[in-house]
């Protein structure tokens, strides 16, 4: 019965190849240049073959979106080693912003593009984004319990801080910060986050 296993392995390998090629195109030439046909060209198969491994293009985007969340989650988990809730919460924001600016195409898929989100709603599948959200929420909760930030609705506070970080990076990624010098943007992004955190009670 080793044959079926090999076939399954091949199938998974093909999926991986498609995904890594799609990601490569994404990184090299941006979203608009990732077409099924170009992916097919790259892996030297016909476009129709892609459809044997993925239902449609959004399915590919969704898979990449999941890979992005894996990477983010990994970085988030490294933060857990920090014991001081205050430092941990700050670090959380810092890591999030850094991840976004260093991996704009992933971030795009994970938090901005519509395609992947459609799949989340459709598939009702357990959402990898939730895992990251919960991890952050637990940090917010810990800071509240420790009396570092004022007690209030945890979901509102978590959402507010997430929104802040997301707002900062998505305005930058979508080129809405023409009033600032492009080279200063990463630093301003961190400063803007710090500014609010400091006011909330998360001083450096």
Partner DNA sequence: TCATTTAGTGAACATAGTTCAATTTACGAA
Partner DNA sequence: TTCGTAAATTGAACTATGTTCACTAAATGA
Q: Where do the H-state alpha helices sit in 103-201?
A: 104-107, 114-123, 128-145, 154-173, 185-200
121 binding DNA? (CB under 7 A)? no
Please select the residue that binds DNA; options are 52, 130, 146, 156, rule is CB under 7 A.
52
- From the number of C-beta atoms within 10 Å of its C-beta (0-12, 13-18, 19+), residue 113 rates as middle
Binding mask 69-108 for a second copy (x = CB under 8 A): ----------------------------------------
Q: How many CA atoms lie less than 13 Å away from 130 in the CB half-sphere?
A: 7
Nearer to a second copy, 99 or 193 (CB): 193
Is 123 exposed, middle or buried (CB count within 10 Å of its CB: 0-12, 13-18, 19+)? exposed
CA distance 61 to 129: 15
> Considering the complex, what minimum distance in angstroms separates the CB of residue 191 from DNA?
38
45 contacts which partner out of DNA, a second copy, none, CB within 5 to 8 A by kind? DNA
Residue 200: which of DNA, a second copy, none does it interact with, CB under 5 to 8 A by kind?
A: a second copy
CA distances from 113 to 107, 109, 129, 142 (A): 9, 5, 14, 32
159 lies in the binding site for a second copy (CB under 8 A): yes
What is residue 147's three-state secondary structure?
A: coil
Q: Which is nearer to DNA, 29 or 102 (CB)?
A: 29
Applying CB under 7 A, the span of 41-49, 80-88, 99-107, 152-160 interacting with DNA comes to: 41-49
Whole-number Å distance between alpha carbons of 125 and 102: 28
148 is a site residue for a second copy (CB under 8 A): no
Q: Which spans of this chain sit near a second copy (rule: CB under 8 A)? A: 111-114, 117-118, 120-121, 127, 129-130, 133, 149-150, 152-153, 155-157, 159-160, 162-168, 170-171, 174-180, 188, 191-193, 195-196, 199-201
């Amino acid at each position: 019965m080793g044959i079926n296993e090999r076939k399954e392995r091949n199938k998974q390998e093909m999926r991986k190849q498609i995904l890594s090629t799609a990601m490569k195109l994404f990184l090299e030439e941006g979203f608009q240049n990732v077409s099924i046909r170009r992916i097919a060209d790259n892996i030297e198969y016909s476009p129709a073959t892609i459809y044997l491994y993925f239902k449609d293009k959004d399915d590919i985007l969704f898979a990449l979106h999941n890979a992005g969340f894996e990477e983010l989650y990994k970085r988030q988990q490294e933060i857990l080693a920090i014991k001081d809730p205050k430092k941990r919460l700050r670090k959380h924001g810092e890591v999030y912003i850094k991840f976004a600016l260093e991996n704009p195409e992933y971030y795009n898929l994970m938090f901005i593009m519509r395609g992947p989100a459609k799949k989340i709603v459709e598939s009702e599948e357990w959402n990898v984004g939730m895992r990251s959200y919960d991890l952050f929420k637990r940090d917010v909760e810990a800071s509240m319990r420790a009396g570092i930030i004022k007690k209030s609705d945890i979901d509102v506070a978590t959402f507010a801080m997430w929104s802040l970080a997301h707002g900062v990076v998505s305005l930058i990624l979508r080129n809405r910060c023409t009033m600032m010098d492009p080279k200063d943007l990463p630093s301003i992004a961190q400063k803007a986050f710090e500014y609010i955190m400091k006011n909330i009670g998360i001083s450096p």
